[in-house]
Every structure is written in C-alpha cells, then in structure tokens.
Chains A and B, each alone.
Chain A
Amino acid sequence: MAITNILVPFDGSTYSVKAFNAAVEIAKRKDAKIKVLTCLEKENLGAWYVDKRVNKQIIKDAKEFAMGFLSKLEKIAKDSDVSLSVDILEAKSISKQIVDFANSKKINLIVIGSNGQTGFNRFLLGSVSNAVSQSAKCPVLIIR
C-alpha cells in the first residue's frame, strides 16, 4: 500500500486538528501530499424561505471563515515541508461529498477525527466519521 495522497476532512474542531497533525506526520515519513477538504452544508440554513440572498451571504461568510483557519494549516504544512492543497466545497450531504471527493481524486488514505463540531460523546463515533468509514473505498484512519 503506497500512500501518496492523504485526504483530511476538516471542520475546525479539535478532533480534526488532531487528525491533521497525524496526517502531517504520516506525510512526512511517506513523502505524501495532503488534501484538506472543508464541506459547507448547503441546505437547512433556515433562511431560504425568507430571502435567497441571505443564504448566499451565509455561505460567503462561512467560506471566508473557513479560509481563515485553513490558512493556519498551510503555515503548519510549510514548516514541515509537506505539500498541501485546500478545497472548500458546498454539499447537501457532507459524508457523501467526502467519499465522492476521495474517489475522484485518487486518495489512498483518509485521516478523519472521531467527532466533529457537534456531538458530545467521545466514546462513540460521530455521524460523519461513521458514514465515511463505512462507505469510503480507501483505508480510513480514525484519530481520537
């Protein structure tokens, strides 16, 4: 199993930061590239029935916010000489988007945190990491 492309789904939570650090360490040893993916949920923003422009504004703000913390990651990757690319995608289903992205970009390994922004029980898997570990076609490393 040659690891050349590592995908880190990132949502800014402490678990995903841990996952990113683990991915950087693996990439250093294996000379692999890291792709960081942030998914923004498109539907269910709650404002679409008032005004569609509100929705667009929310997505725009979220994108700017995401770029803010992703630029911090670029710094970390540069310090340890790992090539990093960052993607921000809008999706209806986050887990499905992650799996589709992994399939289309020839990812060899997904490194994902066990829980995300929501969820309080650290002994069970979060819904997204559960869905990704079930339906991804490449090996999945779950960091706790």
Chain B
Amino acid sequence: MDLKNILVAYDSSSFSNRAFKSALDIAEPNKSKITIVTVVTGIYQPSIGFSMKFSKDLLEKNTRMLKKLFSNLQTMANKKGISISLKILNDPSVSKAITNYVNSHKFDLIIIGSRGRTGINKIILGSVANEVVNKVNIPTMVVK
C-alpha cells in the first residue's frame, strides 16, 4: 500500500481535528502529501428564492475563516516536515462534492471524522461520513 497522497475531509469540528492529527501520524513515516478538502455549501437566502446560490459575503467570510484555520494546521504540519495544501469546494451537497473530488483525483487514502459539526450521538456515523465511506472507491479511514 503506497500512501503518497492523503486526503483529509475537514470541517473544523473536533472530530475532523482528530482526523487531521492521525493523518499527520500516518504521513510522517510515509513522507506523504496531505490535502485538506473543505466544502462550503450554498446558503439559502429568501431574497434569492429556493435556488441554492452562494451569498458572496458569507462565502468570502467562510473562505477567510478557513484560510486562518488552515494556517494553524500548516504550522502543525511544518513542525513535522509535512507539506499540506487546502482545497475549498463550493457545492450544495457536502458528501457529493467530496466523493466526486476523490473519485476524479488520485488519492491513496481518505481520512474522515466519524461525525462533523452537527449531531449528538457518538455511537453511529454521521451522514456525511457514512455516505463518503459508502461511495468512495479508495481505502477510507474513519477516525472516532
């Protein structure tokens, strides 16, 4: 199993932070590259109607916030000598965006937190994690 490219699905929740940490653990001996993918969903605005359009202000705000979070992650990775890159996707469906991105690029492993920002139940998988695990065609690691 060659692990040159690792993808981490990230949404700044505690579970995805744990996923990132275990990605660093795996990347260190393998000298692999880490890509962090985040999906910014469309925000429903009554003025636009029922079409899912991106509000520009919120999109900019989210992107700025993500870049800030990313720089934190980058300092963590630099300490271990691992190069990471950020990819922001815009899509109304988070799981679809991640699976399409994974299946159209060459990654060796995807690491995902068992659940994200929403949800209380810690026993079963979150909806995004479940769908990604089911539909992706590369090895997947679910971090609890």
**Residues of A bordering B, CB below 8 Å:** 1, 3, 21-22, 25, 29-30, 123-125, 130, 133-144
Contact = CB atoms under 8 A, between A and B. Distances in A.
Contacts of B142: 133, 139-142
Given A1-B25, A133-B142, A138-B144, A123 B137 contact: yes
Interface residues of B, number: 22
B133 interface: yes
B30 A139 contact: no
Given A21-B1, A25-B1, A143-B139, A134 B130 contact: yes
Contacts of B123: 134-135
B25 to A, nearest CB: 5
Contacts of B141: 139-142
B144 A136 contact: yes
A133 B133 CA distance: 9
Given A1-B22, A1-B25, A133-B125, A125 B134 contact: yes
Interface string B5-48: 00000000000001001100100011000000000000000000
A144 B108 CA distance: 11
A3 to B, nearest CB: 8
